Structure 1
Amino acid sequence: MVRLLQIEWIKLWNNRASKVLIVAYFVLLTLISLVAAIKFDIGPIKFHLAELGIFNFPYVWHFNTFIAAFFKLFLAVVIVSMMANEYSNKTIKQNLIDGFSKWEFVYSKFLTVLAFAAVSTVFIFVVSLLLGLGYSDYNEIGIIFSDLEFILAFFIKLVGFFSFCLFLGILVKRSAFALGFLILWTIIEQLLFGLIGWKLTTWDTAKQIKNFFPLESMANLINEPFSRLSAVQNLGQQIGEDLKFDYAVHWYEILIVLVWSSLFIYWSYALLKRRDL
């Protein structure tokens, strides 16, 4: 396992574009902490984001994982480019000649996916913990370590998304087309949802079916956190709107994404197994 990861790391780090994207990704995750420094003080108007409670425990776990998930596209580019380079540089054929089985090749890529997801999760955990310790109004141990399921959901979300990108990289072979297909699939899911709700069943049933779509199921793991803020809740009460939603991470949502992740890895292997390289 370690040997396979070392081989993949050498390939990635020797590619200038991949190196830049990986560094940029973690720099952007770090920049989340700069949100705390944003202040506006114009006469009577005073605005400090940290004072809104976005870094309060346990809300910080929810907020940071939701925001950090948007940056996963940087590593998506790395993953599809990683596969495109294997084909264009003929290294996939060389690996097989050197004794790799096709399963070992896919397994090494999946280990890379797991490594990216794990390192990202640990990184955002540390950043969130430090921000919370620095700005949270609540520092009791029980409060600090509550709602940590959002950290787990973040990890599962990244594993699912990166597994999908790996599958697309093997399917399409070229990074630009793979990324284009990723965007196209986002549109396809919305079109399927509209078609099912319009022609086949009720809209409520269509929404339930939509939750099983791959990208939608990943998005469902971490719901938007903004309506959870006390300031937004108070505003909702003043205008007569009930802004209390279900923000929890549910086990069945995790299961759906894990099933899709397993399918993407299996399909990646099945595709590679059938191809004459």
Structure 2
Amino acid sequence: MFRLLNIEFHKLKHSRASKVLIITYFVLLTSTALIASIKFDIGEIKFHLAELGIFNFPYIWHLNTFLSATIKIFLLLVIVSMMSNEYSNKTLKQNLIDGLSKKEFILSKFYTVIVFALVSTLFVFLVSLILGLIYSDFTEPAIIFSDLEYIFAYFIKLVGFFSMGLFLGILIKRSAFAIGALIVWFMIESFTKGMLYWKLEGAVDFIMQFLPLEAMSNLIKEPFTRFSAVKSVANQIGEDLSKDFSVHFSDILIVLAWTAIFIYGSYRLLKRRDL
């Protein structure tokens, strides 16, 4: 495994675009902390976002994993461009000539996906922990380390999303077209969801949960209506925002199943192609 990872990181080290995207991604992840500095006064009204409780444990695990997942496209671009460069720079053929099997080649990419997802997850965990320890009203260990399933769900979500990008990169060979295909697939899922609401409203959630992007989205649902201040305002105007925000094991299994499909599909594509 380490030999295969070393090959991939050697390629990344010499890719300027990849380094820029990776740095940008982690800078944006860190910028979550800047939310805490939002503070302004309007007359007697004093507004400090951190004092509203958005960084309270355990809510912060849900909020930060959801927000961090919105910028995962930057690492996806790295993974897709990795595959594009393999074809354009002929390094794929050279690796195979040098004795790397096609199975090992796919494994090297998958191990890279795992490392990207793991490092990103650890980074989000540490940033959230630090922000929580500074601003949370609740610092009891039992509260701090509750709801950590969102961290695990975030990791699974990244692995599934990056595996899908890897598959599209191998299928299409050009990074711009691969990203375009992902956007088209998102539009297809959105159109399908709209049609189901029109024709089979009662079966929408059951059917949509098996589609890849929707399954990944279901892992970490939006956290804003869970926030106590939002609930309080909703109750005052007679709106019921109660919903199930928990991470479901069935959603994890569906995303893992898609991950296996994407990785195996990548291997089958590579195996059948005459390089």
TM-score grouping bracket, smaller chain normalisation: over 0.9
**Match runs of 1:60-71 below 5 Å:** 60-71=60-71
Residue in structure 2 matched with residue 242 of structure 1 by the alignment = 240
User: 223, 227, 231: which one pairs with 1:233?
Assistant: 231
TM-superposed deviation, 1:45:
2.4
| Counterpart secondary structure, 2:47 | strand
What SS does structure 1 have at the residue aligned with 2:77?
Answer: helix
- Offset of 1:241 from its aligned partner? 1.0
Q: Partners of 1:52 and 1:168 in 2: how far apart?
A: 42
How many angstroms apart in 1 are the aligned matches of 2:10 and 2:70?
27
How far residue 47 of structure 1 moved from its aligned partner, in angstroms, is 1.3
**2:213 corresponding residue in structure 1:** 215
Which amino acid in the other structure matches residue 164 of structure 2? F
Asked if 1:204 is matched to 2:170, the reply is no
Deviations 1:131-164 (A, max 9, x none): 0000000000000000000000000000000000
Alignment of 1:40-55 (within 5 A): 40-55=40-55
Identity of aligned residues (%): 66
Shift of 1:207: 2.7
Q: Name the counterpart of 2:122.
A: 122
Alignment partner of 1:40: what SS? strand
Q: Which residue of 2 aligns with 1:29?
A: 29
Q: Counterparts of 2:34 and 2:233 in 1: how far apart (Å)?
A: 26
| Structure 1 residue 196 displacement after superposition | 4.1
Residue 111 of structure 1 corresponds to 111
Within 5 Å, which residues of 2 pair with 1:82-101? 82-101=82-101
SS in 1 for 2:12: helix
Please state how far the C-alpha of 1:11 moved relative to its aligned partner. Answer: 0.5
How far apart, CA to CA, are the structure 1 residues paired with 2:193 and 2:50? 38
Cα deviation for residue 197 of structure 1 reads: 4.5
Q: Name the CA distance, whole Å, in 1 between partners of 2:131 and 2:3.
A: 36
My pick for the range that moved more, 106-115 or 204-213, is: 204-213
Determine the C-alpha separation between the residues in 1 that align with 2:21 and 2:82.
12
Distance 1:227 1:191 in 2: 25
- Give the Cα separation in 2 of the matches to 1:43 and 1:195: 49
- TM-superposed deviation, 1:192: 2.2
TM-score, normalization by structure 2: 0.98
The answer to whether the aligner puts 1:72 opposite 2:72 as a matched pair is yes
Look up the match of 1:143: 143
CA-atom RMSD in angstroms: 0.9
Flag structure 2 segments of 5+ consecutive residues without an equivalent: none
Q: Deviation per CA, 1:65-121: give whole Å up to 9, x if none.
A: 000001100001101000000000000000000001100000000000000000000
- Which moved further from structure 2: 233-242 or 204-213? 204-213
CA drift at 1:206: 2.6
**Which amino acid is 2:113 matched to?**
V
Amino acid at match of 1:275: R
Alignment partner, residue 153 of structure 1: 153
What SS does the aligned partner of 2:72 have?
A: helix
Task: Give the whole-Å Cα distance in 2 for the aligned partners of 1:227 and 1:197.
Answer: 22
Any idea what SS the aligned residue of 1:128 has? Answer: helix
String of CA shifts for 1:225-249, please: whole Å, max 9, x gaps. 1111111011011011111110000
1:140-195 per-position Cα deviation (integer Å, ceiling 9, x unaligned): 00000000000000000000000000000000000000000010000011122334
Q: TM-score, normalised by structure 1?
A: 0.97
AA partner of residue 251 (structure 1): F
The one-letter amino acid of 1:14's match is H
Question: For 1:114 and 1:100, how far apart are their aligned partners in 2?
Answer: 20
In the TM superposition, 1:237-276 aligns within 5 A as 237-276=235-274
